[in-house]
Structure 1
C-alpha cells in the first residue's frame, strides 16, 4: 500500500518538511496499532476462533469508540446518537448470528479470541489517538507517514515469522492477493477512514464500521453468487437508520 501512496503523498510530505520528534513518535505508535496489531492479530486469531466470535467482538469496537470519545475526547454524543448506536449494533449482531441469537449461547472461547480482543482494543485506541493527536499535514500525507512507520515495524517481524514458519514462501497468487489487499483495505479504506475522522469525529466514524456486514453480503452476492437472506435485510433495516441517527447533523450545526 505504501508503494501506491508515496507518489501521491510526496509533494505534501516534501512541502511540510521533516516531521517533528513528537510526530515521529505518534506515527510509530499509530503505525504499530493500526498496521501491525489490527492487521496481523486478526489473522492469528482467525486460525483458532470462529467467524461468529470475530464478528461479535468486532461489533463492540464502534461502541467502545463512541463511549470513549465522549468520555476522553469530550465529543458531544446525544440521546439520538446513542439510539443509533444501539440500532446499528443490534443489526450487526442479527447478521453475524444469521438471525439466530441463541447461537451466542453456544459460543466457545479459545486462544484466538485473545488475539481478536487485542485487535479490537488497539483499533479503538488507533481511532481515538488519530483524533486526539492532530497533525498539520493533510490526512493523506499523515496516513502515508503512519503507513511508512508501520512498514518499518512489520519488516523485522515478517522476517522473524519467515524463519519460524516451515515452508514459508511467496507465490504469484499470494503476491496478486497482496496487491488487491494493498489497494482496497490498505490504500482505500484507511484513507477514507482518516478523512472521515477529520470530518465527523471518532465516534461518528466508528459507527460507520457497522456497514461492513452489509458490504460483505452485497459483495458475496455479486462476486460469489451467495444469496441474500432475510436476516441480511432485517439487519440492514436496523443498521442503516442507526448510522443515519449517529451521523446526521442538526440543521444549522
Structure 2
C-alpha cells in the first residue's frame, strides 16, 4: 500500500475510531438483562483474542522465552484492562446511562496527565493546569446535573462509582504500559495482556454463572458478544494503533477529543437517552480541557519517541 493511501486511511480512521469506542457504551446498556457483566467481558475478549492471535502469534512464539518472564505484569495488566475496565463498565451500566459512562470515561486522559506528574515525574505547565481545571469542571457539571447546590447533598449512583473505578483503572493501566519494559511489540503485548485478562476473568465468570446462571445462547447474546469483541475489543485498538503509526501520537490524540460527543450522540440515537443541557455544556468544557492537558504531553512524547504509549 502506498504511503499516500495509508495517510488517507489514517485520516478517515480518526473519525471512525471514536465510534468504535462509543459502541462499547451502547453495548453495555443493551446487555442489561441479556448477559451478565463478567460473561460479556470474558466472551468479548475471547472473540477479540481469536481475531488477534493469528497476527500476533509469530512475535509471541519468537519471543516466548523472554516475555513469559513478564507474566506478573501481564496479570496486573489483564486485571486492570480486561477485568476492571471490562466487567466494571458492564456492571455500572445497570444503574447509569451510556451517556454518563462515555462522559465520565472522558476524564481518563486528564487523570493520566495528573498521575504522570505524581508517578513518572512529569510537570504540568500552567496551560495544562488550566485544562485540568476546565475538564474537571465539565465532569462535575455532568455529575451534578447542572446544579452546583447538589454538591452539598451529592449522591453518586452505584453505576457512576463503578465507571469512576474503571476510569481510574485505565489510568493506572496506561501509566504502567509506559513504565514497565517489554520485549514485545505493542500488538503482541496487547494480545498477551488479553490472554492474561481472560485468565483473571475466568474465576469471576464461573462464580457469576453459578450464582446467576449461565448466559443464554440466543441471537441477541451472540450479537452483543461478537460486537463487543470486534468493535471496541479488536477494531478500536487496531484503528488507534494504525492512526498512531501513520500520524504520530499528537495527531492520534484527536481520537480522545472526539470521544465525548461521539458517546453522547451514539447513546442518544441508538438508545434514546435524552441529552440535557448539562451534558452538552459538560462536553463543551471537556473538549478544550482534554486538549489543553494532553497537547503538552503529546509534545513531550514527540521529543521522547522511545517512550511506549500503546493501550
TM-score tier by shorter-chain length is 0.7 to 0.9
Match of 1:70 among 106, 117, 124: 117
Kindly indicate whether the alpha-carbon contact (under 8 Å) linking 1:5 and 1:187 is maintained by their aligned counterparts in 2.
yes
Q: Secondary structure at the match of 2:183?
A: coil
After superposition, the Cα gap between the structure-2 partners of 1:168 and 1:16, relative to the gap in structure 1 and judged at 3 Å, is closer
- TM-score, normalisation: structure 2: 0.64
Residue 145 (str. 1) matches residue 192 (str. 2)? yes
1:217 to 244, 264, 268: 264
Shift of 1:26: 0.9
How does the TM-score come out when normalised to structure 1?
A: 0.76
Number of the residue aligned with 1:26: 73
Instruction: Tell me whether 1:182 sits opposite 2:229 in the alignment.
Output: yes
* Deviation at residue 36 of structure 1 after TM alignment: 0.8
Q: How does 1:77-88 map to 2 (within 5 A)?
A: 77-88=124-135
Is 1:134 paired with 2:194? Answer: no
Q: Deviations over 1:95-148 (max 9, x none)?
A: 455544445555435766664554344323212211111323221111111001
Unaligned runs of 5+ in 2: 1-47, 304-311
Report the CA distance between 1:151 and its aligned residue. 1.1
Q: Secondary structure at the match of 1:157?
A: helix
Aligned-partner SS, 1:20: helix
What pairs up with 1:1-253 in 2 under 5 angstroms?
A: 1-47=48-94, 49-51=95-97, 58=105, 61-109=108-156, 115-116=162-163, 118-166=165-213, 168-191=215-238, 211-223=258-270, 230-248=277-295
Q: Deviations over 1:142-170 (max 9, x none)?
A: 11110011112222321221111147433
CA RMSD of aligned residues (A): 3.8
Alpha-carbon contact 2:104-2:164 (below 8 Å) kept: yes
What is the rounded CA distance, in whole Å, between the counterparts of 2:62 and 2:181 in structure 1?
18
Measure, in 2, the Cα distance between the counterparts of 1:100 and 1:42. Answer: 26
Aligned residues: 249
Partner of 2:45: none
CA distance in 2, matches of 1:136, 1:161: 35
TM superposition shift of 1:20: 3.3
Distance 2:84 2:292 in 1: 31
